[in-house]
Structure 1
Amino acid sequence: MKAVLFDMDGLIFDTEVVYKQSWQHAAREQNLDLTDAFYRNFIGVQDPECERMLVEHFPEHFDITRYKRDRDQHFHTLRAKGIAIKPGFDALFNAIKQRSLPTAIVTSSHQAEVSHNFANTPYLTQFDLIITAEDVEKGKPHPDCYLMACERLGLEAKDCLVLEDSNNGIKAALAAGCQSIMIPDLLPPDEDINERTIVLKSLDEVIDRLPIIAS
């Protein structure tokens, strides 16, 4: 293993709960119910695809333009209060750096979200590569983002370890041919995912796995 590729939302930052609150708030503004069950389809998926699913799911009178405005306003209000870094990230990141392994962020979010989330932390400049929604046409669960990360790092996919919290993210990593570890956030691993990847409870548990996975 020669590099570690991090997802961001739900893995490094505790943002998934905040996203869910904002998406559901915007639906309620139009007297619609975005259930937890349906929202699970959005985790690890780029916004345009989620919005397409909403348009198909809700009645004809659903106003997607208004929805996006209400969702974003609500999210920015919540985010202004601060987004917590997930437990174990600091210890894991330091352990990876001590091993002189390259690191990358590979996220379905946009560059502006990455910059904002990391603004009050020392971490962003320490990553060797950042891949965001702007960089790929097809987001997770398609493998494009992880294939691009491996290519830009000059490494084969089999030599890169992906850390993800979502099933869609793990599917993208596996489709790219990467090693993978899932640290679930809002959703448990799908049965087929559970059989194909390592599942841990927290980021700091990855530290003990680094020498085992390394080759």
Structure 2
Amino acid sequence: MAAPRPAPPPQPVTHLIFDMGGLLLDTERLYSVVFQEICNRYDKKHSWDVKSLVMGAEKLIVHLRKHGIPFALATSSGPASFKMKTSRLKKFFSLFSHIVLGDDPEVQRGKPDPDIFLACAKRFSPPPMEKCLVFEDFPNGVEAALAAGMQVAMVPDGNLNQDLTTKATVVLNSLQDFEPELFGLPRYE
């Protein structure tokens, strides 16, 4: 069996699109926070640091804002799920230029179809279709971004088979490892 072809080298981008799931939010610990909040009603202690739920994204988001680089969120979550997952992080998510949820009328099909990323890119003004970099953590999301004609920075779960990461433009251990200059963006100071 032939080895998979490596992804082409990174090209300059002007806009970024983030998936949310296990990429921006540590959803497992977020669910634990929600569980703990329920426990609080019964006088149990709350011991989680909400800031730590934003997984290494804060540095990158602040950097993008500082340099005026547009970025948006495209998540398969519906409104109720999104509200629950982000209720304690409203300020962080208000930094995104726009947010496209899975129930958006333009999102007819879920990943690996490109609908969600195409809908998200169209809302930038002007739409930068081929100049978008998508941050994803799952192979279906990588497929969707590539089908939309976009590059992908993948931050896979450590347990994911490495064969499932070969199509991504770059593979990172965490968002903290992202090197903006690889995609023609200003480097961190």
TM-score w.r.t. length of structure 1? 0.64
| Pairing 1:130–2:102 present | no
Structure 1 residue ranges without an equivalent (≥5): 20-73
Q: CA deviation at 1:95?
A: 1.1
SS of alignment partner, residue 141 of structure 2: helix
Matched, 1:11 2:26: no
* Cα distance, 1:176 vs structure 2: 0.4
8 A Cα contact 2:134 2:153, kept in partner: yes
3-state SS, counterpart of residue 142 of structure 2: helix
Residue identity matched to 1:212 = L
Find the residue that maps to 1:104 and give its secondary structure. strand
Q: What amino acid maps onto 1:117 in structure 2?
A: K
- 2:174 is matched with 202
Aligned residues: 159
Deviation at 1:116, TM superposition (A): 2.5
Instruction: Give the percent of matched residue pairs that are identical in Structure 1 and Structure 2.
Output: 32
Task: Look up the match of 2:123.
Answer: 152
1:108 corresponds in structure 2 to: 76
Q: Partner amino acid for 1:7? A: D
Superposed CA RMSD: 2.7
Encode CA deviations 1:139-181: one digit per residue, 9 max, x unaligned.
1111000011111113232211100111111111111011110
8 A contact 1:164–1:183 mirrored in 2: yes
What residue is the counterpart of 2:181 in the other structure? 211
Answer 1 or 2: which has greater helix percent.
Answer: 1
Pick closer, same or farther for the CA change 1:134–1:5 going to 2, 3 Å: same
Is the CA contact 1:2–1:160 (under 8 Å) kept in the aligned structure 2?
yes
TM-score norm. by structure 2 comes to: 0.73
Structure 2 portions without partners, runs of 5+: 1-12, 39-45
